[in-house]
Each structure stands twice: as structure tokens, then as C-alpha cells.
Structure 1
């Protein structure tokens, strides 16, 4: 087995020594929790769960594709939200990025995320080549 780190020009990398956004071990792909932070790493893009979800799912897609897989290879997601009452906005955005069998998914409400204006964070696990896409 070999661990490789993958990058996407569309997803800002953390400072050195912090964490990896995307690691691939053989066909297993691990995506760290993504938020709707903009290119500057500070500005939050989107005021609603739907808008932030679109930004986050696009980041996940960019990283999954950079690692040689497709979105339908995503098999598990964990979604952290600050207001579970707005979960339908997350589900609406998710439908724009997946088809066929949706990934296994856990959604939990948390008291807070890294900044007050961050409404959600999503981490993903994919297995390259497991979908029929």
C-alpha cells in the first residue's frame, strides 16, 4: 500500500504541518472536512446552507477528480451542520452532485464550527473505480 497526497488548484491547501485535504491509499480516498471558505482562506462564501453546500460539494468533487476518481465513487460522507432544521438545503445541493446510489451519510448538528458564519462542514470517503460511472 502507498499513501499519496492529492491537490486541486480549486481548493486552498492548509498551512504546512496542519492536515491533508486529500489522501489516497490504493483505491481509498479520504477527503478532510471541507467548508465554504473562499480562496483567501478567511471569507465564507454563501449565507445559506444551500449556498455553502454547493461550494463544499464542488471542493469535494475537485479533490476526488484530482485523485483519479469520480463523485459516484464517494461511498460515505459525514456532514456537520450548526442548524439541523435547515438540512433540506444540504440534501437539495447534494442531489446536484450525485446520481445513482447516493453515498452512505451521517448528518449531525454541532454547537459550532471554526467560524460563526460557517454553517456546515463535510468530509468524504471514496473508493476509486467502485461506481459504474
Structure 2
């Protein structure tokens, strides 16, 4: 059983939960940083933040499903942005993929990522 833990309500404006309590999970899935990378390893959406964000969530969904879970099992994310002012844009795209109570989350501003031109990367923890 998973349950969001939110002693306040202000985080709802930002689309995340303070914590998740997980009881009796069958498995824990720890997902490496996912970015806007095509199946052939090439960058998707050069210079287009929303295209990169959508591809990143598509890749995250693919990995979660391959591990036997889904966005419904997502309990935590860490998002790295090369421009933290895009956090609201990220939230808008995330809402297209993640419905229900949002995972616990952290957003970190960085000067660069592993693949030149990447504007974001998301690592995650999910349960199944």
C-alpha cells in the first residue's frame, strides 16, 4: 500500500508530495536518470524544452513498464534542470503523464548534463 504524506497543502501548487509511505511493496524500482534520448541514443528535441520533457516522461514510462510498474507506482523523483525557471513548464508536461497524487520530488538546477543539449534529466523511485 502506498499513501502520500502531506502535512501541509502549499506543495499542491507545485505538483509534488512531501513524502510517500510505502507498506508491503512487492518490489522497489530505482530508475537511473532518464532524459530526452531516442532508442538509437540520439538527443530528441534540441532546444525545445517541452519536447525534451515529453520524451523524458515517455522514456521514464518505458523503463517503469519494463520493470513491471507504472507512473501509479512512482513515489519519488529527482529532476535536474539546466534552467530552473522551466520548472512550471515541467509540471505542466508531467501532468500529462502522472495523474493522481504526485510523487515526492526535488528539482535541482545544474550547469550541464551528460549529453550535450539535454535540458533535463529525471531519476525516480517506484514500487510495484
| Structures share fold, TM-score greater than 0.5 | yes
In the alignment, what sits opposite 2:17? Answer: none
CA distance in 1, matches of 2:109, 2:116: 14
Superimposed CA distance per residue, residues 86-106 of structure 1 (whole angstroms, 9 cap, x where no aligned partner) = 112211110011111100010
Q: Structure 2 unaligned runs (5+)? A: 1-24
The runs of 5 or more residues in structure 1 that have no matched partner are 1-24, 129-133
| TM-score with structure 2 setting the length | 0.75
1:12 alignment counterpart: none
Q: Secondary structure at the match of 1:95?
A: helix
Number of matched pairs? 103
Write out per-residue CA displacement over residues 20-76 of structure 1, whole angstroms, 9 at most, x where no aligned residue. xxxxx95100110011122221x3111322111110111111111111112110000
Which residue matches 1:80?
Answer: 80
Q: Which has the higher helix share?
A: 2
What SS does the aligned partner of 2:90 have? Answer: helix
Does the Cα contact within 8 Å between 1:50 and 1:92 map onto a contact in 2? no
3-state secondary structure, aligned to 2:97: coil
Distance in 2, matches of 1:116 and 1:66, equals 27
1:9-24 residue pairs with structure 2 within 5 A? Answer: none
1:44 correspondence with 2:26: no
Superposition TM-score, scaled by structure 1 size: 0.72
Q: Which residue of 2 aligns with 1:121?
A: 121
Distance in 1 separating the partners of 2:126 and 2:58: 15
Cα distance in 1, alignment partners of residues 90 and 49 from structure 2? 6
Cα separation, 1, equivalents of 2:70 and 2:35? 20
